[in-house]
Amino acid sequence: MPRGDGLLTHELDPSDAGPQDACGVFGVWAPGEEVAKLTYFGLYALQHRGQESAGIAVSNGRQILVYKDMGLVSQVFDEATLESLAGEIAIGHARYSTTGASVWQNAQPTFRPTAQGSVALAHNGNLTNTHELVQLLRARTEGDPKTGKGETATTDTSVMASLLASYQDRSVEDAALDVLPQLRGAFSLVFMDEGTLYAARDPQGIRPLVLGRLERGWVIASETAALDIVGASYIREIEPGEFVAVDEDGLRSSRFAEPEPKGCIFEYVYLARPDTTINEQRVFSVRERIGRKLARTAPVEADLVIPVPESGTPAAIGYAEESGIPFGHGLVKNSYVGRTFIQPSQTIRQLGIRLKLNPLRDVIAGKRLVVVDDSIVRGNTQRALVRMLREFGAAEVHVRISSPPVKWPCFYGIDFASRAELIANGLSIDEICRSIGADSLSYVELDDLVEATNVPADNLCRACFDGIYPVELPDDDLIGKHLLELPANGTEPLKVIQ
């Protein structure tokens, strides 16, 4: 029987691959606790950030054991597996691939033996100088008889892990202090050796990373929602450019780079859970404020405001409250579509968006609708949605989008369509409106979106909306999801030991 390939959402509607989430990372140092189970539930809370593969690494103080596979957290782990992962330190990862194919070899955490033991690493984000790091790694390992043996991985994460392991005369902690300043791009890391849990965040702090406290330990996670689910108290964010280590001597922090905050604004729009807090702002409240601003800048006479669930719900609530138009649920989402390895038949695939959303005819029939969604990428989903709502009796369909037009790809951990495929890159708003068949279409203004976050504009990465990238990008042929799988300048593919 063929094995699932991890393409959990694209396979169901390959004509419209929306913005795919960044990865989720979780780490815990808690002697006396069931750290594998804490990590499992932490990853469960972060499942929305990556659904292709999941893995957990555990140390018992003597050795590190890694278990990972393709699929959801609940598909990869069962009670018996978690019971076998005994120890005091654990890290976990839920992956959506932004560098390297979605295959088992690229699942995380990534493991490497070192001169003094071993290291396991999990990464959320995407590096922009991977090619340069590969050359550095080749120079450091030239002549090493172990190089070139074993399975191969093709991710920026594997390059980082190999670099950490390449220091024969240094501890993982000392190696990290040398490697981290050489990384460029977005990286929120949790990693470990046999006795210490580590975390690091890039100087721009593009992807979130937070610190929490257990009664008998410490937790590090991509989002505060993961702290909540394991009963950890939120302490603070890991600062941009900060390196943290936790062991039996407690928690210690150092700086490997000066902070230049540029947090991803799309976390507020779509990526993060609504119950997560970023920069002391509850994401649900930010999205609600965005909806209020949309109602003021893009009013319309209508009978009902409905969200495209789930990410459009808070903004739709804000729009309804500000406009005075009643809020209602006109679409029911099948939460489990796109979460299975069973390949749909062509007949099922032709149903398109109906696999994911089903209208409530008695709610929408004869109504003038305001439909609130988080973003438009290619436009295929909105086009099918508008058509479906009309088929179910909607009198008018006015689309309101709680982000500005997405015109530029992301190189820091979100897998958007290519720039040529982005509908807003080639069409005006009026043209997009006609393309999707709506009666009207409005986006929130970028300045209003920034204001809704309560974060200074200069502290946010807005590249997908304005094309201004806070971390310099290399030439086009030295960046991309499959960089390490393609021949580089006529040489062999840039593969790294797994």
Sign, CA dihedral 466-470-474-479, equals negative
Which tokens hold the place of 471? Answer: 């971390």
Query: What CA–CA distances, in Å, run from 373 to 199, 309, 334, 379, 423?
Result: 34, 8, 16, 12, 15
User: Is 132 exposed, middle or buried (CB count within 10 Å of its CB: 0-12, 13-18, 19+)?
Assistant: middle
**Backbone angles phi and psi of 171, in degrees to 5:** -75, 165
Strand partners, 250: 247
Pair 61, 88: CB distance under 8 Å: yes
- Nearest alpha-carbon partner for 238 in 274, 279, 275, 268: 279
Task: Extract the runs of DSSP E, i.e. beta strands, from 96-209.
Answer: 110-114, 117-127, 152-153, 185-192, 197-201
- The answer to whether 82 and 44 are in contact (CB under 8 A) is no
Cα–Cα distance between 217 and 301 in angstroms, integer?
A: 54
> Please, are residues 73 and 94 in contact by the beta-carbon 8 Å criterion?
yes
- What does the block give as tokens for 217? 């330990």
| Cα–Cα distance for residue pair 179/418, rounded to 1 Å | 31
Q: Which residues are catalytic?
A: 23
Cα separation, 353 vs 384, whole angstroms: 7
Q: Which residues have C-beta within 8 Å of that of residue 193, sequence separation ≥ 6? A: 59, 64, 114, 116, 117, 118, 119, 171, 172, 173
| C-alpha closest to that of 461 among 237, 259, 266 | 266
- Phi and psi at residue 446, to the nearest 5°: -60, -40
- Residue closest to 168 by CA, chosen among 144, 193, 200: 144
Select from 331, 395, 385 the least CA-distant residue to 365.
395
Q: Which of 187, 206, 208, 188 is nearest to 260 (CA)?
A: 206
Count Cβ atoms below 10 Å from residue 446 Cβ, excluding itself. 17
